[in-house]
Structure 1
């Protein structure tokens, strides 16, 4: 009996195992359930670098990212960032404006991952401000680790050189900050025999701009940049230099004179009215008798309260110019300018014009009372005719139908894409004039108008979206100028409103203009050659307008300088 009691637990265990085996046999045809695989999880494992300024790029490492930019959303401190490149384990983004310190998040495939660490937006310290005024009789070096504030008229005198490092910012003060109490706006003036060496780069342009805070800048906040050389000007030697600048024209004819170098330079919000009499507004860049050994290329003038670029005599040669939203003319030449210009683009605000009437390119000669055309380009007599050569310009006025009404923000109105008067002469080749009430307006007095003696040479010009293509004044009647302009051998073209699509132009919006003509544009072919284009200064082209397939404005220009932080 005792032995049975010992065996009872064993028997019970055997009975349980038998029942389990029978149960398994009954369900033996059922497959074993497959475990559900775990869903891949989006994670953030790294941020490199963890501190960076707005506008720079950072790399976000992790897992299970979308493999295209549109399949991911990245935020930095709550602000959406632009994605540069992406793989399933790394996303490169640009630190966005307005980003705050905080975590980085990535949303991909319906999942959102947030970094455990905090990204910090780097804010550079304010640069020290160096005030500049009066005349300094010494060579100077201005460096990008400082801000230079021009107060009143600042002169670099004869035999001294100002060197400006790439990336340097120079600000012009308002007239009420003139230390001489003459109410002169901050202006930088390079006098005869002096030099400026302003050698910026595409990634680090030199910037001349308003001293006002971001968001408060406006047309004509300060004076501008003035270069004075020893090439001829065709007015009297005792005439005062324009714009309230000290000195007179004098009598020089050193056409190879050298005032230095301006390369990759921006000039913003210049053109202040100076209290020295009528017509004393300086332009963004004013060139008085500047010689052709001076190097000037890649210069942008924006929001000038007067002209963007102004030549008073001289022989300077310039390339790659941008005139953006000027108040008056984009390019203005007077007093016997005989230099060369190639590759220039102008974009205007249709609501802004000067009371004198705003033009794309305006040329005048030395004497409003002249009764005959003077001998073309007699270089040493001090009375050379204004006769420059412009090639590959693109001048954009109205994007819609032009109007001759007064502008909304000025007291003037638009006039012409090309405006000649006072017996000026000019050669313009392979250029586009778009969106003006008048395309070409030519005026002259006397018995020998320039279109018959070849002092005016217009070839390869495209007039588009203009109300009246060609206008004549004085002895240059509209019939005469129209016949001249439309002669087939001149290869000029008038594009009707119904045919504008053939130009295949990009949209010229306020802050991100796209300048390159699209593939198939009629502007990409048809350029003329020969004539004054044989000068070695000019780069041969097959296209008309300022652009072929290379956008030379990339990198160094700024089409929205209003909110740019120049203090750091």
Structure 2
């Protein structure tokens, strides 16, 4: 996302209501419905309007519906507890954004049968009706971004710190639907934004559905996650930068072929993965520390596969660039539109060539109009050139033990390109079941990783999305 400006209403007052009260959330009369960010709405016995600043701990209960009206900031050490089964909605006139700020925490622990759902309150839901969820922590970043994106109040715009073990709380069995606050054309808030979030935070079983921008974006920090789903989001599904150094296992990325956000003349594209260290337009070197270095395993990432009507703004299965390092292991990336594995910029390529970065023990497929491997944006004056595409392919398919499949069907997943009901589990005889997963790299030996035997997000029997995740939107 790009840095954006937004006129934040001044004089937002502390929320005075508790969940057992029907008073106004900000103790003020409701303004008329508008498009400036706070919007209107009235409390009832079961519908609670939430605005402004939450500076004391409170609990949201499943017998009420909570309406986010514009930007809502949880701060001053407060804990926001959300019961399993609670519904939080937003309407397009105000596109609510929930910000858990640096010293506050969220305790949103749903269950597989009672997920916590953030969604649109409109009769005909659309991407951008909800703004999104923003966690702001105290872990280290490299300063690529100096403040939060998305037009937040300047009083709540700083992020990061020096505590890599910091906790912003818990998000568990949470679904985020129709997010992506459109502040300016082509410039929106993400489904779940994680700014300098530390490793003490628990993020497990979270789905972002039909978002207008990125599904998950990690701005530095060290948070570790499991069981993430990005489904039918318009821009990048897993976007990482600012020195993010966490671990993620078991994740899904599924793209709607016809749905991307408005790119305008930016030249931007939509990818399953887009991972940077810094943006050189900010005046930084690619080597700015800490360097983005995610360690990822057991992803299943499904591109548009050149289906009828595929948006011209679709790009790569994996786009690693701008000085980032990475490990992506035991994963499936298929149906990419422009290229499967793309490395941009000399330093990014050099890390892969040295064996620091790896697409490891994984499966790759690109659509009929794509190239499997791509190297781009190298220094044209380098003699000899830093590397070439042929060498990238050889190293990936030998040293890194990954396999390229010219035909997606050869991976034998149930029905991966059925966007309304994607079948992502491997079928009998699939190489995802017969090729053993590998955790023999130092980075993968960490106890965080479950040492499973299969490639991709699923084995043949266990569907961890059952009950709480949703499809067909």
Q: Are 1:323 and 2:224 counterparts?
A: no
The structure 1 segments of at least 4 consecutive aligned residues displaced by more than 4 Å after TM superposition are 369-373, 400-403
**CA distance, structure 2, for counterparts of residue 328 and residue 476 of structure 1:** 29
Q: How many pairs does the alignment contain?
A: 407
Equivalences for 1:181-260 in 2 at 5 Å?
Answer: 185-213=95-123, 216-235=124-143, 239-246=146-153, 247-249=156-158, 252-260=161-169
Contact 1:373 1:448 in 2 (8 A): no
Q: Are 1:537 and 2:448 counterparts?
A: yes
- Which residue does the alignment assign to 1:420? 320
**CA distance, structure 2, for counterparts of residue 551 and residue 146 of structure 1:** 30
- Which residue does the alignment assign to 1:173? 91
Question: What is the deviation of 1:313?
Answer: 0.4
Question: What is the deviation of 1:252?
Answer: 1.1
- Which residue does the alignment assign to 2:301? 395
Q: Which has the higher contact order (CA 8 A, sep 6+)?
A: 2
- Which residue does the alignment assign to 1:492? 402
- Which residue does the alignment assign to 1:21? none
- Which residue does the alignment assign to 2:360? 459
**CA distance, structure 1, for counterparts of residue 62 and residue 467 of structure 2:** 18
Question: What is the deviation of 1:511?
Answer: 3.6
**CA distance, structure 2, for counterparts of residue 482 and residue 457 of structure 1:** 12
Q: Are 1:546 and 2:453 counterparts?
A: no
Q: TM-score, normalised by structure 2?
A: 0.81
Give the match's secondary structure for 1:515. strand
Give the match's secondary structure for 2:175. strand
Give the match's secondary structure for 1:425. coil
Give the match's secondary structure for 1:516. strand
Q: TM-score, normalised by structure 1?
A: 0.68
Question: What is the deviation of 1:544?
Answer: 0.9
Q: 1:507 aligns with which of 397, 411, 415?
A: 415
Name which of structure 1's ranges 425-434 and 472-481 shifts more when overlaid on structure 2: 472-481
What is the RMSD computed on CA atoms of the aligned residues?
Answer: 2.2
**CA distance, structure 1, for counterparts of residue 434 and residue 45 of structure 2:** 48
Q: Are 1:444 and 2:345 counterparts?
A: yes
Give the match's secondary structure for 1:523. helix
Question: What is the deviation of 1:212?
Answer: 0.7
Higher share of residues assigned helix? 1
Question: What is the deviation of 1:368?
Answer: 1.6
Contact 1:372 1:445 in 2 (8 A): no
Question: What is the deviation of 1:251?
Answer: 5.8
Go from structure 1 to structure 2 and tell me whether the alpha carbon gap of 1:373 and 1:172 turns closer, same or farther (over 3 Å shift). same
**CA distance, structure 1, for counterparts of residue 275 and residue 347 of structure 2:** 18
Question: What is the deviation of 1:367?
Answer: 3.5
**CA distance, structure 2, for counterparts of residue 556 and residue 447 of structure 1:** 37
Contact 1:373 1:445 in 2 (8 A): no
**CA distance, structure 1, for counterparts of residue 400 and residue 280 of structure 2:** 29
Superposed CA offset, 1:437-465 (max 9, x none):
21000012359811133331220121124
Give the match's secondary structure for 2:292. coil
- Which residue does the alignment assign to 1:138? 56
Question: What is the deviation of 1:483?
Answer: 2.9
Question: What is the deviation of 1:133?
Answer: 0.3
Contact 1:299 1:320 in 2 (8 A): yes
Question: What is the deviation of 1:548?
Answer: 0.8
Contact 1:228 1:289 in 2 (8 A): yes
**CA distance, structure 2, for counterparts of residue 261 and residue 543 of structure 1:** 28
Q: Are 1:472 and 2:375 counterparts?
A: yes
Question: What is the deviation of 1:512?
Answer: 3.1
The structure with more radius of gyration: 1
**CA distance, structure 2, for counterparts of residue 448 and residue 517 of structure 1:** 32
Equivalences for 1:38-57 in 2 at 5 Å?
Answer: none
**CA distance, structure 1, for counterparts of residue 402 and residue 253 of structure 2:** 20
Name which of structure 1's ranges 532-541 and 349-358 shifts more when overlaid on structure 2: 349-358
Q: Are 1:386 and 2:292 counterparts?
A: yes
Give the match's secondary structure for 1:450. helix
Superposed CA offset, 1:8-32 (max 9, x none):
xxxxxxxxxxxxxxxxxxxxxxxxx
Question: What is the deviation of 1:510?
Answer: 3.7
Question: What is the deviation of 1:274?
Answer: 2.1
Equivalences for 1:210-359 in 2 at 5 Å?
Answer: 210-213=120-123, 216-235=124-143, 239-246=146-153, 247-249=156-158, 252-275=161-184, 280-354=187-261, 355=263, 356-359=268-271
Query: Which sections of structure 1, spanning at least 5 residues, go unmatched?
Result: 1-125, 178-184, 376-382, 562-568
**CA distance, structure 2, for counterparts of residue 444 and residue 542 of structure 1:** 34
Go from structure 1 to structure 2 and tell me whether the alpha carbon gap of 1:523 and 1:209 turns closer, same or farther (over 3 Å shift). same
- Which residue does the alignment assign to 1:60? none
Question: What is the deviation of 1:242?
Answer: 1.2
Question: What is the deviation of 1:414?
Answer: 1.2
Question: What is the deviation of 1:127?
Answer: 7.6
Question: What is the deviation of 1:395?
Answer: 0.7
Go from structure 1 to structure 2 and tell me whether the alpha carbon gap of 1:364 and 1:528 turns closer, same or farther (over 3 Å shift). same
Q: 2:274 aligns with which of 354, 359, 362?
A: 362
Query: Which sections of structure 2, spanning at least 5 residues, go unmatched?
Result: 1-43, 379-385
Contact 1:240 1:249 in 2 (8 A): yes
Contact 2:147 2:159 in 1 (8 A): no
Question: What is the deviation of 1:236?
Answer: 5.9
- Which residue does the alignment assign to 2:287? 374
- Which residue does the alignment assign to 2:381? none
